[in-house]
Each structure stands twice: as C-alpha cells, then as structure tokens.
Structure 1
Amino acid sequence: MNFIAPSRLQSGDTVAVLSPSAGVPSLFPHIFDQGIQILKEEFGLNVKEWSTARADPNHLYHNPKERAENINEAFADPDIKAIISSIGGDDSVRILPYLEQEVIQKNPKIIMGFSDNTTFLTYCNQLGLVTFYGPTIMAGGISQLQGIGEEYKQHITDLLFNQNDGYEYKPFQYWSEGYPDWSDPENTGKINEQNLNSQGWNWLQGQSIKKGRLFGGNIEVFEMMKGTKYFPEDQFFDDKILFLENGEGTTAVNQIKRMLRSYGMKGVFDRIQGLMFGRARDYSIQDKEQLDNVLMNVIQDEFHQYDLPIISNMDFGHTDPFSILPMGTMAEIDCKQKRIILIESSVV
C-alpha cells in the first residue's frame, strides 16, 4: 500500500480539536484550555473547536455518530490543516461505522491522538493515510509543554511542521508518569516529578538493519478491535515496524503475554520487521523487567523469531513526553548502532 503524507503545518494554520472518545474537557476545562493556549502561543496555530470538544461525557457516550461526524466534517473542511483529539477514553471503537471513507481519503491531513484514539487512527491508516500516534490536547505533552521543555517543543516541530526524512529518534533526557490532581486548577500544566532517563531504551534483541512502515497503537484497544472488520487483515502487517503500548497500569504483564501470543498465532511476528514497546505506565522496576522477559519469551522461545529487533521502554505511551510516531511512514532500525530513523518524511 502506498501511504499519503499530509501537508506539514505552518504558523497561522487552523487545526480542529474534537473529542472522539471521552468528554474529559468538560470535567477539567482548565487543563483543556491550557492545551489550546499552547497550540496558539507556542506554535502559532489557530484552533477551531467542534461540537464534541467540550461536550458532556454522558452526551458523548450516547452519541458515537456525532463524534464520528465531527471527524468527517473536519476532514471535509478545506480550512482545517490538522485534527487533534482532546484526550482518549474507552469506547471510540463505536464511532467507526459512521466514518466516511471517501471524505477521509479525498482530504488527507494530519490526524493525531493516542490510547483509545488507536481505533480511528488505524481506520484512517488502512485507507492509505499517514496518521500520527502522538499527544492529545490534554495528555501526552501539549498541555504540559512548558513543564517538559524546549526539547519536546522541537520534537513536535520536527514531526509536524518540518519535512523530516532522516529524523532520528533519541531517548528524551527526562520522563514523567501521570499528573498532579487535575481537579485542582493550581496543577494546570504541571507534570509529576521527572525521572532522569539514564537507562534509555532496552535493546532486547536484533543484530541487523531492518526497514518497514510504522504501525501500531494501544495493545488493549487493539484487543477491542480484534474480531471486527476494523482490525487489519494479516497481510497488512507485512514489512511493518509494529509499536505497542499499554494503558495506565490496567493490564498485568501476564495479560500482555496472552495478547502478544495472539499476534504470534496470527503470524504477525513472521511478517513484521521489528517490534517497539512503549514505556509501561504504573509498572514497578520488577514489572518492567518481567515485561521484557515476556517479550523475549513469547517472540523468541514460543514463535522462534531470533533476529526480529525488539526495543522496549521507549518514549511513547502513557508517560510524558510522547514521541510522535507517524503510521505509514518508512523507518529504519539499526540494531548495531542502536538507531531508529525516519527514512522518508511523514509530512510534505
């Protein structure tokens, strides 16, 4: 499949903000407003909020069609250059029947989110669009940008505003897990204590150079999609670099083992060129070590893939800052040099 890269963002562009999943902005408007302000002041963007952006959680829950229509309308609007989700949730899978394939395919543009947003990012990616697994307005680093720093601002600029073939991913110097209580407006824009990223990424396996198109998302959300017509066919995984991450400590390591085993039974590990796993949220050091062991045991011992690159503890998922991963863009993993590089641009 040939993937269509969207136009890069420029200062003065208008981006759509909507809530395809949970109505969290209505519960913590100060966190949401901070994210909107960051888009305007730090990146020079104009923001157009759709009807779902600040809608009541109960209203959104009962109206999956409206959530999908917001996405359709944002794609169809020629003034909109990007679509950014407010936050994740747990039921955006219900919007998929209402997405308009033709409208989306005819109007490629940046669409970004993570976690539960895996559903519609996967849908659009299967239509041939490059989609962006990255921060939402409220979580992942946009609302918290001033507390994270210039390194992350530059990363967002490099991935969304600049042509980026040759971009090399590197571990961020610091990372944090979760946020101070959002119900207190004094915590707006704040992150929990930062940890020095002295360990970096864990290069668990692989000796060669592998190339493939990025694809992935939240492992629990993929479980909701499996068995539906919206989960990719087996051949879609051919020559992909698969990335996976888990939610906020909701999934035990043994459950992830069973999920990974199902990918093995589908033959996914025979098809892909590499596996990247995000830094696990709410896991102890021992849990993370156990997760690394599970990755190795399942992929190497159970499914006999001995040279498939496996990298864990990477800077994406439910910790901050969040490396933006453009799904459908060609990347290279160099195991000997321990480098991951985009070898084509995700924006044009």
Structure 2
Amino acid sequence: MKFITPQRLNPGDTVAVISPSAGLPNLFPHIFNYGISVLQEEFNLKVKEMGTARAANERLYNNPKQRAEDLNQAFADPNIKGIFCSIGGDDAIRILPYLDLELILRNPKIVIGSSDNTTFLAYLNQLGLVTFYGPTVMAGISQLRNLDPSYKKHVTDLLFQPHNEYEYHPFDYWSQGYPDWSYTDNVGKINEEKQNTERWKWLQGYGIKKGRLFGGNIEVFEMMKGTKYFPKVEFFDDKVLFLENGEGTTTVNHIKRILRSYGVQGILSRIQGLIFGRARDYSPQEKEQLDNTITSVIQKEFEQYDLPIITNFDMGHTDPMSIIPLGISVEVNSEDQQITLMEPSVS
C-alpha cells in the first residue's frame, strides 16, 4: 500500500478541534481553553472549533453522525490544515459508519488524537492515510508548558518540520494523571507527585528490523475486533505494532489474553516489532509482571524469539506523549536500542 503523507503545519495555519467521543470540554472548559491557548501561543496556530467541540456528553452520545460530520467538514475545509481531538472517551467507534471516506482521502491533512480516537485513526490509516497518535488538546497539549521544553520541540519536529530521518529518545522524566480538573487552579498542571525517570525497556530482539508503524489503544482495538473496521490479518505484514492501555483499566491477565488472540490470528508472526506504551497506574510489581507476561506469550506460546519488544515507551496515557505517525516507515535497532523514522512524517 502507498500511504498518503499529509502536508506539514506552518505557523499561522488554521487547525480544527473536534470532540469525536467524550464531552469533557463542556465539563472542564478551563482545561480545554488553556489547551486552545497553547496551540495559539506556543505554535502560532489559529483554531476553529467545530460544531460539537464543546457539546455536552449527552448530545455527543446521542448524535454520532454529528460528530462524524464535524470530522468530514474539517477535512473538506481547504482553510483547515490540521485536526486536533479535544480528548478521548469510549464510543468513537459509532462515528465510523458516517465518515465520508472519499472526501477525506481527497483532502489529506494531519489528524491527531489518542485513546478512543484509535478507532478512526487506525481505520483511516488502513485506507492509506498517515494519521498521528499523540496528545489531545486537554491531555498533553494543555500541559505542554509544564513539561520539559524538549517536548515542544518533539511536537514541532513531527508536525511542522519534515525530517528525512527522526530518532526517538526517551524523555528525561514523565508523569501520570493530572490534579483534579474540577479546580481551575490546576489548569495546565501535571501530577508532580507521580513523576518518574524510568526509561524504555528492551525485552528482546536482534539486529535491525524495518516496517511501518501501526497501532493505538489496546482496549479500543478489542472493541473494533469482529467489525469491518479492524484490519485483516494481511494488513499486519511488516508492521511495527505499538499498543498502549488506558488508566489502569486493563489487567495484566487481560493483556495476556489479548496478545494470545493476536498470536492465534497470526499477527505476531507477521509484524517486525512490538512497542508497548507505559502501563498507566501500574505498580512496579505489575509492570514487571506485564513485561514477563508479554515475553512469555511471544516466546513460549508463539516462538517469536527474534521479535523486538520494547515496553515503557513514551506513548499512551502518560505525559509527555510521543507522537507516532501510523503508516510511516520505522527502523528498530535492537543492538543500539534505537527507534528511528526512516521518512518524513509530514510532507
């Protein structure tokens, strides 16, 4: 498959903000507003809020077609150069039947989100569009000023400045969760009590593997399984699969069963690497148990001894959150423990 790489963002561009899942901008407008101000002031972007961006949860839940129309209109508008999701949620899968796929593919542009946004990011990528798994306006963008300055550079490198090659590096520290969003004093803040300097873990792998990035939230993929929106097994050929779990909602045993399912489908024998994001709200003991479980399933049950496995990667429901471009070629070097994009993420 030939993937369509969207054009980069430039200072002064207009980006759309959508709420394809939960209505948290309506519940916590101060967090949402601050994220908008970060896009405007830190990246010099103009922001257009689509019709349901601030809609209440009940309206969003009752109107998946309206949510989809916002996404369709954002792609159709030639003045909009990129699309940011406000936050995740749990039912974005319901917008998929209403997406205007021909319109979207005729008007490729950056679309970025995470968690429940996996549904349409993964589906559009299967159709050939490079999409971006990364921070949302309320979770990641809103906190940018309280993260290391290297994170702003990372966002700029992936979305604004095409690089022929781009090497990922672990961030010096990360945090999980936020102070109570009900209090306006917590605008833009990270959870300083839950900071950590724990780096990536390379569990196994030999030599250099190459493939194209694909993945998202492991729980959302479970919702997609059995539908026409989940990839056919052949799609996983030569992919580097990345997965992350939500806020402590997926136990180690559940992840074991999901991986076993991937193995039985033949997915694990087709991919060129497996990257796991940080397990949110796991204790150190649970993280060790997760690493041992992943290795055990892949080695003992499916005899994939050479498959590179990296865990605790800066991706998922912790901050800073690396931006992962689905469909872009990547090199996983187990000898030097490097992960490098081998082509520009934007054109």
TM-score by length of 1: 0.99
Which residue of structure 2 aligns with residue 225 of structure 1? Answer: 224
The residue aligned with 1:100 is 100
Root mean square deviation, CA, Å? 0.7
Equivalence for 2:253: 254
Alignment of 1:1-348 (within 5 A): 1-139=1-139, 141-193=140-192, 195-197=195-197, 199-348=198-347
SS in 1 for 2:11: coil
Shift, 1:149, TM fit: 2.8
Distance 2:311 2:27 in 1: 34
CA deviations 1:89-117 (Å, max 9, x no partner) are 00000000000110011000000000000
What is the CA–CA distance in structure 2 between the aligned matches of 1:196 and 1:322, rounded to whole Å? Answer: 14
In the aligned structure 1, how far is the partner of 2:13 from the partner of 2:270?
A: 39
Letter in 1 for 2:249: T
In structure 2, what is the Cα distance between the partners aligned to 1:160 and 1:323?
A: 12
One-letter amino acid of the counterpart of residue 57, structure 1: N
Shift of 1:164: 2.1
Q: Deviations over 1:268-320 (max 9, x none)?
A: 01100000000000000000001001110111110000000000000000000
Aligned mates of 1:299, 1:93 — CA distance in 2: 29
SS in 2 for 1:271: coil
Deviations 1:234-255 (A, max 9, x none): 0100000000000000111001
**AA aligned opposite 1:162:** Q
Q: Deviations over 1:306-347 (max 9, x none)?
A: 000000000000000000000000000000000000000010
Cα distance in 2 for residues equivalent to 1:314 and 1:105: 30
Q: In the aligned structure 1, how far is the partner of 2:276 from the partner of 2:221?
A: 14
Q: 5+ residue gaps in structure 1?
A: none
Q: Distance in 2 between matches of 1:42 and 1:10?
A: 12
**Partner SS for 1:313:** strand
Q: Which amino acid aligns with 1:222?
A: F
Corresponding letter in the other structure for 1:142: I
What SS does the aligned partner of 2:47 have? strand
For 1:214-248, what per-residue CA distance to the aligned partner results, in whole angstroms no more than 9, with x for missing partners?
Answer: 00000000000000000000010000000000000
Give the 3-state SS of the residue equivalent to 1:300 in structure 2: helix
1:165 Cα offset (Å)? 2.3
Question: 1:12-56: per-residue Cα shift (whole Å, max 9, x none)?
Answer: 000000100000000000000000000000000000000111001
Structure 1 runs (4+) greater than 6 angstroms displaced: none
The one-letter code matched in structure 1 to 2:113 is G
Distance in 1, Cα, partners of 2:5 & 2:108: 8
Q: How far apart are the structure 2 equivalents of 1:322 and 1:264?
A: 28
For structure 2, the 5+ residue unaligned runs are: none
Query: CA shift at 1:196, angstroms?
Result: 4.0
CA shift for structure 1 position 189? 0.2
Q: Secondary structure at the match of 2:297?
A: helix
